[in-house]
Amino acid sequence: MTTSPTIRVPGGVRRGGRVLSIVLPAVMLLSAVAPPVAPPAGPAARVDAAAAGRRPLEVIRAPAGTAIPNRYIVRLRPGGLTADVVIPLDVRPDFVYQQVISGFTANMSPEQIGEVLSHPEVAAVEEDGVVRAFGPGPAPVAGRGAPDLTTSWGLDRIDQRSLPLNGRYDVTHTGAGVTAYIVDSGIDPANKDFTGRLVPGFSAVTDQRGTGDCLGHGTSVAGIVGGTSWGVARKVKLAPVRVLGCDGSGAYSGVIAGLDWIAKNAARPAVVNVSLGGPKSPSVNEAANGLAREGIFVAAAAGNAFSNACDVSPASAPGILTVGASTRVDGQAIFSNTGPCVDVFAPGLAVTTSKAGGGSRVGNGTSFAAPYATGVAALYKQARGDAQSAVLENWLVREATSDELKGIPENTSNKLLYTGGL
């Protein structure tokens, strides 16, 4: 497992009942991005921008209370070089992005930001913001989706079209030969559900803990993707991409760094799960879309605020699969985000999975719905080859069971994940 240094270079219809028409090459605080506000910039900076033949840029602000002070994500224009921007200003970037976006993240003063905004190679500047693991929803009521550590109703549900459950999980494939990248809090190698299948990953967190999991969230997500006890794809390789600390929080910049590292280092065929989020971020969405354009499938949790998933990143990115949570009785989980950015639903209330330290636990949340889709994507790639992201997403949406779920809003696709004979 690898630990990052302080400065590092990480290596149909899209929404609402849709089949993707994009063709290749094409957490918990939820609110829309506030209108951009320009920071102080001197007259010289504005003159330089005017000389470059374009309007001065403005900083894209994170919603109140979610911005990381004095820390900015800078996206460059095609052909732009990070060195051209940072060296003259004596800026030391924490991350340099080369694949999913071109740019960097750094702490900068108002004076430095004024210069960056006027630089002809800069396309956008955004405040870095906080992301969080999508925490658990309310506990299930006894007799209505109550915890069961002996079976997995989630696995049982996704391999059949309708209720009642038959007590089996029937698939032909196992995800062998595919690598699943878990963008989360790490994976605990102590759980025997992953023995022999963990591969080296990446950490954007500078706490010297590497890619281990001191939170437990990523371990449980990985257990649904590919654990031997409760996983969808039980022979998939699992790579931890740690972007959340022990308190469950991280940063936009770290998520982008993780996605950029995957784009540079992924063992193909590959799938990616992102069960975290924050307020809508153009930079995070562009990074998620950039990874999808690389041909790497991405599934993201819709969020647990019973709100609009289109206000969340990366859930609102149009090039990825966004997953809401369903219940054992084919209802929408009360906490699940909805809206036109949700592609499919998957089990997410009282689902059984692996836990840090070993053994099993029951989890609630869209965090645990998304990995069911990621697991099915791994089955698909084993069965049918390394399909491009748009092709695979189209297949998942098309194969999903239609109109089985109760209580789904009119602006939300009524689709339940299905293994489709894989």
Residues known to be catalytic: 184, 217, 367
Which of 25, 51, 120 minimizes the C-alpha distance to 81?
A: 120
- Type of residue at 259: L
- Type of residue at 324: G
Return the DSSP state at 193: G
Q: 3-state class of 68 per DSSP?
A: strand
H or E segment to which residue 272 belongs: strand 270-274
Return the DSSP state at 36: P
Which of 147, 215, 221 minimizes the C-alpha distance to 183?
A: 221
SS3 annotation, 300-346: EECCCCCCEHHHEECCCCCCCEEEEEECCCCEECCCCCECCCCCEEE
Give Cα separations from 300 to 49, 133, 277 (angstroms): 37, 11, 9
Q: Residue 181 is encoded by which pair of tokens?
A: 């990248």
Q: 3-state class of 239 per DSSP?
A: strand
Long-range contacts of 396-405 (CB under 8 A, 24+ apart): 396/321, 396/343, 396/344, 397/12, 397/18, 397/19, 397/20, 397/321, 397/343, 397/344, 398/12, 398/19, 400/344, 401/161, 401/162, 404/161, 404/162, 404/330, 405/326, 405/330, 405/331, 405/332, 405/345
> What does the chain come to in residues?
422
